[in-house]
Chains A and B, each alone.
Chain A
Amino acid sequence: MATEQRKYSLDEIRAYKKRSLAAEVWRNYKKSPSAMVGLFVVLLLIIVAIIAQFTFDYSKDIVQQNVRNRLQPPSANHPFGTDQYGRDIFIRVLYGAKYSLSVGIVSVAISCAVGSTLGLIAGYFGGAVENLILRFCEIFMGIPSVLLGIAIMAAFGQSLWVLMLATGLVYVPMFARTARAAVLPVRDQEYIEAAHVCGLNDFQIIFGHVLPNSMAPIIVQVTMGVANGILTASHLSFLGLGVPVPAPEWGAMLSSGREFIRDYPYLTFFPGLAIMITVLAFNLVGDGLRDALDPRLKQ
């Protein structure tokens, strides 16, 4: 019987393995309508951000003041109304998508790269190294995240890049702990031992064998991290410590509309709604991914 079985080449097996894993996750992911809605909104936001970037002229459409048009209520011409400087809020909200998205994505890239590496090292080596890294995480988790963000913004000054850095650093410990927890069950597996026996060095084992097998929780954390990052960054901007004015960052727009809250509530309503929809979409994707990657967790 054995001779009749078709022999697969190594390449074929690899291709099959790759395709099936991604396809498996996608197949599970598709089943959840809320996850699909989240994905759709995320893609839509990215497209909007890109189109807005090329359609509108920053100095003319976004920041130029037009006092004659100030504080117009929502109408066909200005779907979200105009702000105290006569700028169209709808256009500013569309243009502002790029700030929130880029802060969310870049900050997660920072916290994931730094945090996961620390977590992998901690989980893989254990002992004193692990202890040191965990204590380090405790220090940064001890400071409430918004306060740590504020301190970093105060130290390095206000700009989009510092906002990304501050938001990213705040979430480093979370990634480190997630990655470490994901490594622990993998560390003692036989294939890791086999890799040692084959003479691979620690670097090769960590990134070639440990990481791919402890990926799932990190991926979920990344999507949730984008949501958290956007929220934290908008918090900082709201407190006047984010992207400097007059950039149409949603948190900052909301904050500047506060003084007109009594008579012109739409100044604060629409930017906040935009933040919520964005964060919600990323959270839905994160939830969907978690269920798709590990159906056992689904309840």
Chain B
Amino acid sequence: MGRYIVRRILLMIPVFLGVSLVVFFLMDLAPGDIVAFMAPQEATEEEIEQLRKELGLDGPLIQRYFRYMGNLLRGDFGMSLSMKQPVIDVFKARFPATAKLAFGSIIVAMLISVPLGIAAATHHRSWLDGFSMVTAMLGVSMPSFWLGLLLIILFALRLGWLPSGGIHGFSSVILPAITLGAGQAGHLTRITRSSMLEVIRQDYVRTARAKGVSERVVIYKHALKNALIPIITIFGSTLGNAFGGAVAIETVFAWPGVGRLTVFAINHRDIPLATGCIMLFTMIMTVTMLLVDIAYAYADPRIKARYSQ
């Protein structure tokens, strides 16, 4: 098990390096000379070069990349040009909001998809099955930002039950979490259904029924545990989708998270902030996925056995 964890951590290093290369070079291609733009209008050529040096934005691309990575290893992601603060501080201040939104959306997705998926599988080929599959298909196909706007129109503007944006208290997280969770729920419902269908055809379920165990216990006690394994397996990527989807949802709900921060950074040509945000976002996601996988390997004896040899 220890070896498995070490191996996974080592494998993350080249991925991180690759991500940093891709992001750094892409951001470097972005048009416009930010330093010249920032400098006061009467600044001379020399003063601009001076400023460039101060910001660590001088020299050829490769040199800048290595300097950036050297700083990054010490936890320094550079200075945000538009906020005049270290990127890491800006990110840290905004991240909890995004984490709240992402986890809220996963809870919503689970609350919708697990019962719906079970109902569809246990009533295979009935109207209930059809209903859940149509709902799931709509959830997958709906642009999340549109759903968000529709919810705002209905619950915030027309009915006035919930706030339409910003972050203040529990009520403000409800609409964004539902919006972000709905798309995820579509995927998860389909997965729950097909995995449940598979499990309830297995011998041990038949045995349980033959023993005279009630249908309720068969489904919720015997079958559900195994049927949920695929959902746990993709928990990591669900979380990743939640983080990615948060970018648009935060914009819709004026949610002060890192998704909106990234869009802001791009729109304001704040390259250090944008680069830092994408890198940190990716790092947090990769590490979370790793933790999920490790926890999962601990929980499932079959996986543990595979790696303990």
B108: min CB distance to chain A, Å: 19
- Band of interface residues on A: 35 or more
- Given the known interface contacts A146-B248, A155-B27, A239-B247, the answer about A140 and B22 at a Cβ–Cβ threshold of 8 Å is yes
Q: Which residue of B lies closest to A277 (CB)?
A: B141
A268: chain B residues at CB < 8 Å are 146, 149, 153
Interface centre among A143, A283, A299 (most CB of B within 10 A): A143
Q: Are A276 and B141 in contact (CB under 8 A)?
A: yes
A240: Cβ under 8 A from any B Cβ: yes
- Measured CA separation A247–B62 after assembly (Å): 38
A182: Cβ under 8 A from any B Cβ: no
* Interface of A, helix, strand, loop or mixed by DSSP: helix
A40: Cβ under 8 A from any B Cβ: no
Q: Are A151 and B243 in contact (CB under 8 A)?
A: no
Chain A, residues 243-286, CB within 8 Å of chain B (1/0): the string is: 00000000100100010011001001100110110011001100
- Given the known interface contacts A147-B281, A155-B26, A269-B150, the answer about A238 and B248 at a Cβ–Cβ threshold of 8 Å is yes
A2: min CB distance to chain B, Å: 44
- Measured CA separation A299–B125 after assembly (Å): 9
Q: Which residue of B lies closest to A144 (CB)?
A: B244
- Measured CA separation A238–B249 after assembly (Å): 11
- Measured CA separation A142–B267 after assembly (Å): 23
B228: Cβ under 8 A from any A Cβ: no
Chain B interface residue count, CB cutoff 8 Å, equals: 47
B72: chain A residues at CB < 8 Å are none
Q: Are B15 and A135 in contact (CB under 8 A)?
A: yes
A140: chain B residues at CB < 8 Å are 22
- Report which of A234, A273, A299 forms a contact with B197, defined as CB distance below 8 A: A299
A164: chain B residues at CB < 8 Å are none
Residues 1-41 (chain B) with a chain A CB within 8 angstroms: 14-15, 18-19, 22-23, 26-31
B77: chain A residues at CB < 8 Å are none
- Report which of B28, B31, B142, B241 forms a contact with A276, defined as CB distance below 8 A: B142
Q: Are A251 and B26 in contact (CB under 8 A)?
A: no
B194: chain A residues at CB < 8 Å are 299
User: Could you name 18 residue pairs across A and B whose Cβ atoms are closer than 8 Å?
Assistant: A139-B15, A142-B19, A143-B22, A144-B240, A147-B247, A147-B278, A150-B247, A150-B263, A154-B27, A155-B27, A155-B28, A238-B145, A239-B248, A240-B267, A254-B143, A265-B153, A265-B157, A287-B137
